Structure 1
């Protein structure tokens, strides 16, 4: 909001008082922005009518701050109104003009430079996303999408800044921001389930696009992870459709799960297990058990049950709540582990598409707020993310970026994972080899 940098910083305190909490806050502020702020700092004493200017001595800590900011001090009586109130505002502006504008440039810092870069990237991203500089005036749908996209960029910007304020070392000149990544824009979702469960159809419903081949027989099932990406509701949805892992050999299963981890690094926001309503079998239990062994118990914090054929639930049970209450004991145990996070999907109804997908996104956002991290992560994902970044850097070292073909480097690396002989796949395998 103060790009490209503020002209002045105002420190507002009661007259002749600087509490311990205020001084600690100022020290933290100083660590973030550095000594340069003193050139732009003005102290404001809020002075009630009955307060005398000379009734107290200025505390030593406040006196030191005043000395460093060239005694830029002004009194404000917030009880004043009308002309008198306007006069003191005028005095403040004159002080800013005389002592700051004429002696120093606009405040500049790595923090603000990074903010400017993120905002520029966000603008370029929106242009890329909608393939236009500005929306057509008569295109309300596009206007709405642009507004949603801008809201997403603001969230990314705030999240990037929040990392600095949470860090132990506030000196951003020694710990610069990580370059903005495509992973900041996404909602990453993995889908697991048995063949014929409606998993691929559910992925198509989420993306509102036929990205995955929906199969109805085991002879047509997929044997490798597939990725589908679509922008909806101002969010980039990345959905990974996986094969039925209990149909794979141990070697193929390990290879596909490793690919899945690479595609969703630094970690998925949700792990969906799709099961056809009324058909929770022993093979479903075996698959979930295998997933828990691979991903760990923390998986349950991001785990959802998706019941496909939601229309049958409605016809036979009236509501999802009634259906869940009648769930067999084995299914109920899974519901307890995932804190009863479940959604019914009707993949045949275009009318219900938007509502049920928005319901899913809302529930995913809820668990992101509840959990300690904004996505699932463990050692395997940390190692995979390091491998993905390493491959990105290798690609970017090509001075002409001829390998990227206009793509974001992360997207290029993800494309490479489709080939098990690619540099990305080999690097990912080496980096996560000891995670068994």
Structure 2
């Protein structure tokens, strides 16, 4: 893992969860404002990741909402666009991944989300992950989230891979401070930020990154340089334009490779048929 320069936008927190898990509401709870549309962690039409930067407890956080990655029934083109959008927002590195589930039975569908996360980033990403549950009102009285986790072998193993880090929020009912301090979003937020600090300490200030994220960051730096030469724009505007250009170019390269592969396979079978058919006709 590479040590990244510190800066106001480098503490990237990535929310990962299936549609309906409560990602957008959780993001709003963390930020203390309605920045994300409830019911969808990302644009439902485009699947593109959404971001928002704000100071939370005197530290700048950039929340990256990515559940467009996990929408069922999307086309391969839409899924690739979602992946590229996620990667460009995450580059050059991630402070923490929040893997979001509801307080309910952990099924194969939830486990598949974890598999997809590891496939996209790598299993090393779990060393930088926190499991966060929503719908905390579903917890029985006097039951804490670690008690709930201990009842499922799969959940228990996942949380162990994430360094034992897990927290619970309720984006609907825990808005005000409760009599039970544990069942308070403010208490859970403070604990979540402690977990993120612990991740940083465990990795000596290094954020999660990999070759894919570093390559994308290098591409964006080149695009930023070209954009900067062509006009007078703010740093934020330049960065956003660079992201769009990188996504577009990578999508074009992806489809070009697909076409080349199709042409190659078609040519191979055409040549094969050209050899086999004449031989069969001679035998007749």
Compute the TM-score of the two structures, normalised by the length of structure 1.
Answer: 0.50
Answer yes or no: is 1:280 the counterpart of 2:112: no
Instruction: Figure out how many residues of one structure are paired with residues of the other and give that number.
Output: 241
C-alpha change, 1:208 and 1:250, in structure 2 (3 Å) is same
SS of the residue corresponding to residue 350 of structure 1 reads coil
Change (3 A) 1:205 1:428: farther
* Residues 1:429 and 1:223: Cα distance change in structure 2 (over 3 Å): closer
Instruction: Decide whether aligned partners of structure 1 residues 283 and 370 sit closer, same or farther in structure 2, where only a CA change above 3 A counts.
Output: same
SS of the equivalent of 1:397 reads helix
Deviation at 1:221, TM superposition (A): 8.6
**Residue 425 of structure 1, CA deviation:** 2.2
Residue in 2 aligned with 1:264? 90
Question: How far has the Cα of 1:355 moved from its partner?
Answer: 3.0
Structure 2, unpaired ranges of 5+: 177-183, 258-284
CA offsets, 1:120-145, max 9 Å, x none? Answer: xxxxxxxxxxxxxxxxxxxxxxxxxx
The 4+ residue runs of structure 1 with deviation greater than 6 A are 430-434
Largest Rg, 1 or 2: 1
Q: What is the match of residue 192 of structure 1?
A: 16
CA distance in 1, matches of 2:75, 2:204: 35
Residue-by-residue CA offset, 1:315-342 (whole Å, 9 max, x unaligned): 345222322222x222222122212211
Shift of 1:229: 2.0
In structure 2, the residue matched to 1:233 is 57
Tell me how far 1:203 sits from its aligned partner: 0.9
- 1:383 Cα offset (Å): 0.3
Q: How far is 1:253 from its partner?
A: 2.2
Asked if 1:337 corresponds to 2:164, the answer is no
In the other structure, the counterpart of 1:363 is: 195
The 8 Å contact of residues 52 and 64 in structure 2, kept in 1 or not, is answered as yes
Q: Deviations over 1:377-399 (max 9, x none)?
A: 0000110110121122112223x
Q: Provide the C-alpha distance between the structure 2 equivalents of 1:185 and 1:370, rounded to a whole number of angstroms.
A: 21
Residue 277 (structure 2) aligns with? none
Counterpart residue number, 2:248 = 426
Instruction: State the secondary structure of the residue aligned to 2:11.
Output: strand
When the two structures are superposed, what TM-score results if normalisation uses the length of structure 2? 0.74
What CA deviation, in whole Å up to 9, does each residue of 1:163-200 have, x standing for no partner?
A: 8xxxxxxxxxxxxxx9x88x554421111111111111
- The aligned counterpart of 1:307 is 133
How far apart, CA to CA, are the structure 2 residues paired with 1:432 and 1:207?
36
- The answer to whether structure 1 residue 354 and structure 2 residue 186 are counterparts is yes
The residue that corresponds to 2:268 in the other structure is none
The question of 1:206 aligning with 2:30 is answered yes
Work out the CA distance in 1 between the residues paired with 2:210 and 2:254.
12
Q: Distance in 1 between the 2:127 and 2:75 partners?
A: 28
Question: How many Å apart are 1:223 and its aligned residue?
Answer: 3.0
Shift of 1:432: 9.5
Residue in 2 aligned with 1:319?
144
- Output the CA distance in 2 between the equivalents of 1:384 and 1:303: 22
- The higher-RCO structure (CA 8 Å, 6+ apart) is 2
**CA gap 1:344/1:305 in 2 versus in 1, 3 angstroms:** same
Question: How far apart are residue 372 of structure 1 and its match?
Answer: 5.3
Contact 1:274–1:306 (Cα < 8 Å) also in 2: yes
CA–CA separation in structure 2 for the residues paired with 1:408 and 1:308: 35
Q: Which residue of 2 aligns with 1:382?
A: 214
- Which residue matches 1:166? none
Unaligned 5+ segments in structure 1 are: 1-162, 164-177
Distance in 2 between residues matched to 1:294 and 1:319, nearest whole Å: 31
Q: Tell me if 1:408 matches 2:235.
A: yes
- Which residue of the partner structure matches residue 65 of structure 1? none
Cα distance in 1 for partners of 2:254, 2:142 equals: 45
